[in-house]
Amino acid sequence: MGKFANMEKVIALGEKSWRAGAEHGLVQVRTTKGDNGQLILDGHAFTNMVSCSYLGLNRHPAILRGAIDAIEREGVLNHSVSRTRIAPALLSEAEDAMSQLFECEAYLTPSCFVASATVLPLYASGHLTEGKKPVVVFDKRCHFSMTIMKASCGDETEVLTIDHNDMVALEELCKTHEKVVYVCDGAYSTGGVAPIHDIVRLQNTYGLYLYIDDSHSISAYAPRGQGYMRPAFGALGDRTIISGSLAKSFGAIGGVILAGSARIRELFDFANGPTGWSQQFSVPGMGSALATAKLHRTSEVADLQGRLQENIAYFDSRLPSNDAGNGLPIRFVEVGEAEAAIEASKRILARGFYVSAIFFPIVPRGKAGLRMMMRADMSREQMKAFCDAIEEAIAQRVAHEAALTA
């Protein structure tokens, strides 16, 4: 008991901060639509700086039209049957388009969690590792949608957790175990990236198997939006599986699994996992996925990526961080205790920008801070006002703390 999760401790230590955030109007926020992509809260207009729609494609008319056309074509939102049994031809059309975009076998899922729940038990069972059960190694900062599968994997095989990006520990495990699966993010949700060159080296040297969620970089990064991890591998082969969200920068719905062979892809249908339930990828999801795949083959997405990079570079010039220069859109500014993060977030919202106050269990205790996402659809004037608001909030917090200790 408590080997793979400890929700009792997480809630006991984290609930106080969540409730404080709610009392300050920073969580459970409900808005109406404003102008120019802004949101309205009780008459106050603000820009959402925690949206993962890094290129602003969640409002793109071609993607919205794709979802509407799909509903009109099929006459339903969902066929309410396992995709293994029956699915509209539109699903194959969308998956074919995604396969061409990513140059591998693409398999659409209702969410990234469903992607992890599909792949990780297959890895743990040995069906993707030549019939021999591997040790499944999770990075300590893996997203919850993956770590929640530890117990399921642990029922099949040995499950271990190593420190964040600890390639020395991972290599030792590769030396002492015949089959090793490494589970990590490509771009992490609180900033930072996986050490891709070390990971590829370990795979080439030891035959390391990989499951990588690259939700926060696909679409926003690399030609045609292939993301941070996919271009590093050439042909994926049978030892690398990448998942990603279509509901973030792609501006669509659901998730996608990228595999290197039709054999692996077929197992997703026939292994009786979540893809065998009557909750298949939705019809508007199929239409939006098809539309966004087409859009990512145009120069428009490349132009948006360029604008995103300009805004990231400007932010880094104003507020340097450990992640400065990595080209990815998530930034985290540490301020200390949860109370400080909540107060700073409240001040920034009053200036017209919403950033997340991040605290335990999302980050370690005493390491609370502000998480924000850069966006392509912001002018230099907006970016300047945003950075001004952050700097002022931090300065006010520092002055307050100095006054308390004076």
Is residue 1 in some structural domain? no
Structure tokens at 405: 């200790």
Residue 231 has what DSSP assignment? G
Q: Please choose, from the candidates 316, 348, 352, the residue with its C-alpha nearest in 3D space to the C-alpha of residue 332.
A: 316
Domain membership flag for residue 98: yes
**Helix, strand or coil, per DSSP, at residue 75:** coil
pLDDT on residue 2:
67
- How many alpha carbons lie under 13 Å from residue 214 in its C-beta half-sphere? 30
The reply to whether 95 falls in a domain is yes
Q: 373 forms bridges with which residues in the sheet?
A: 330
Which of 244, 268, 295 is the C-terminal boundary of a domain?
A: 295
pLDDT at 402 over 70: no
**Residue 15, pLDDT score:** 86
**DSSP three-state, residue 271:** coil
pTM value is 0.93
Most confidently modeled of 79-83, 124-128, 337-341?
A: 124-128
Coil, helix or strand at residue 396: helix
116 in a structural domain: yes
Domain span at residue 373? 7-54+300-405
Q: What pLDDT, on a 0 to 100 scale, did the predictor assign at position 403?
A: 67
Cα(24)–Cα(373) distance, rounded to whole angstroms? 21
In a domain, 160, yes or no: yes
Q: Is residue 254 within 8 Å of 218, Cβ to Cβ?
A: no
Pick the last residue of a domain from 272, 295, 318: 295
Percent of the chain exceeding pLDDT 90 equals 78
Residue 250, pLDDT > 70, answer yes
Is 278 in the same domain as 328?
no
Structure tokens at 17: 């901060």
pLDDT category of residue 212 using cuts at 50, 70 and 90? very high
Look up residue 385 and give its amino acid.
Answer: A
The mean pLDDT value for 164-188 works out to: 97
Largest CA-CA distance found in the chain, in angstroms, rounded: 70
- Among the listed residues 45, 44, 47, the one whose alpha carbon sits nearest the alpha carbon of residue 56: 47
Report which of 140, 128, 112 is spatially closest to residue 214, judged by C-alpha positions.
112
Q: Are 372 and 48 in contact (CB under 8 A)?
A: no
Q: Tens digit of pLDDT for each residue in 32-45?
A: 999 888 999 999 99
Average pLDDT for the chain: 93
CATH number of the domain at 112, please: 3.40.640.10
30 lies in the same domain as 134: no
On whether residue 113 sits in a domain, the answer given is yes
What is the model's pLDDT at position 13? 76
Q: What is the pLDDT of residue 1?
A: 65
- Above pLDDT 70, what percent of the chain? 98
Q: Are residues 266 and 306 in the same domain?
A: no
Domain boundary among 295, 312, 328: 295
Q: Are 139 and 165 in contact (CB under 8 A)?
A: yes
The tally of domains found in the chain comes to 2
Q: Are residues 175 and 46 in the same domain?
A: no
Structure tokens given for 101: 């975009």
CATH number at residue 38: 3.90.1150.10
> Using N-to-C axis directions, what is the helix angle for 61-74 and 89-102, rounded to 10°?
150
Query: Is residue 43 within 8 Å of residue 238, measured between CB atoms?
Result: no
